Amino acid sequence: MSKKQSMSIVALGSVFMLAACGSGGTEGKTASGASGNSEGKKIVIKYWTANGGKIEEAKQNLVKTFNESQNKIEVQQANQGNYDDLHAKVQAAFAAGNAPAVFDLEIASTGIFSRSGVLVDLTPLAARDDAQLNLKDFMPGLMGNAYVDGKLYGIPFVRSTPIFYKNVTMLKEAGLDPAGPKNWTELEQYARVLKSKGKTPMTMPVGIWEYEALVAQSGGKVLSDDGKKATFNSPEAVAPVQFWKKMSDEGLIKFVVGKTAGADAEKDWANQISAFKFGSTAGVSASLEIAKGNNFEMATDFMPANKTYGVPTGGAHLVITSKLGEQEKEATWEFIKWMTSKENTIYQHKYIGYLPNRLSALESDELQNYYKEFPHYKVASDQLKYAVLRPNANAYPEITKMMQDAITKAILEKNVKPQDAMNEAAEKANKLLSK
């Protein structure tokens, strides 16, 4: 995950207005996201990616393999930072007329990008090539955010859910059963034991992705089904904030803030200061390497339940930007189909931990045998039965900032009541949603 979006809706609207004003001069010309295929020359397409480390390595390896597999298309890959960085750069490049042909689009931003005319409607391409693409083979729990207003805009690529990481060694040393905790009550019980042993039970940033999970577990939603009203101030959506505040006040969860919050939480877990962490399934491979290097045993599990289990999905689709020539669009589509094939989703899954997006990949002998040795990778797929969509409202990326600020204030400021903080944020959010 998912990395969370926080783009400014005002800035986004300005960018798309500039793009609309400047689009007249691009008719009849090849967009700079790709170059033409005249007289046997390769069609060159730009692919912009997000995130680094093993995630970027896997994409680089796939692009290299694709380029070497044929002589008609050359993909030029460029990393643009995190999802926020990437999205902002795509917006600016689109306005200037030199957007990449294809990029990683974080799923919660599909609504604003598609409704602003940046993306190609993939519905006719997917229907035409269904025998090859086979949309029904993609996990149903991953397809919801790919559609906006009934049209398909993204093909699942690097998809994830938050999962629960446990330091089994620390739990055993504290006399705790590493099979748990399975719910909020048990998480609190485990945390009290760990604290009594001088350990930090859990370190985490104030993450909206994780918050969405706890809201789903409590039977709530952050926005109404039509996306027109904030509901994160309902009792079900305030319950997670109240739980987190209680755990923070009693020293059972250490909340970290600021630009390095995510990295700080990871350091505590890697250094065996804290026993638990919430993290993306994209971190399974790297976490296993850390555990091996630091000589401890780890396990992954569903996020602890409240009334039920529940998680949002996250990660990115591959999408095609509009304004491409027909040859460039078709070349980009060929690349996307190749990148999201059964074989390549298995590769991504094993290399990083991202979900095996295709049912055929999940059910393959290769992965079923792999899970016998590394069950850590299978947890996210099993947890998908409890997955919920992320809101696709245009204003949602901006609203996530409002929610995050309110939750942080409620947790860290002693005299702030969670209900009051969420009410105030909901009032601001509703003004955006009513526009």
What does the alpha-carbon distance between residue 229 and residue 232 come to, in Å, rounded to a whole number?
9
Q: List the one residue out of 141, 149, 75, 62 whose CA is nearest residue 113.
A: 149
> pLDDT digits over 327-350, tens only?
999 999 999 999 999 999 999 999
What fold, for 162-312+395-433? D-Maltodextrin-Binding Protein; domain 2 (3.40.190)
Q: Please, what is the end-to-end C-alpha distance for the chain in angstroms?
A: 28
Q: The domain 9-160+314-388: what is its CATH number?
A: 3.40.190.10
Main-chain dihedrals φ then ψ at residue 285, nearest 5 degrees: -60, -50
- What Cα–Cα distance (Å) separates residue 124 from each residue in 45, 121, 152? 21, 7, 9
Judged against a pLDDT cut of 60, whether residue 4 lies above it is answered with no
**CA gap 426, 32 in Å, rounded:** 41
CA 404 – CA 78 distance, rounded (Å)? 30
pTM of the model: 0.86
Residue 3 reports pLDDT greater than 50: no
And the tokens for 402?
A: 């409002």
What are the CA-CA distances from residue 216 to residues 131, 166, 245 (Å)? 35, 22, 18
Q: Is the pLDDT of residue 209 over 90?
A: yes
Is 12's pLDDT higher than 80?
A: no
Q: What is the pLDDT of residues 55-97, one digit of tens each?
A: 999 999 999 999 999 999 999 999 999 999 999 999 999 999 9
Q: What is the pLDDT of residue 100?
A: 98
Q: How confident is the model at residue 19 (pLDDT cuts 50, 70, 90)?
A: very low
- Quick check: 169 pLDDT over 90? yes
pLDDT at 392: 86
Q: Is the pLDDT of residue 21 over 60?
A: no
Q: How high is the pLDDT of residue 435?
A: 83
Specify the pLDDT at position 23: 29
Domain extents in the chain: 9-160+314-388, 162-312+395-433
Q: What is the pLDDT of residue 18?
A: 31
How confident is the model over 39-66, as pLDDT tens digits? 568 999 999 999 999 999 999 999 999 9
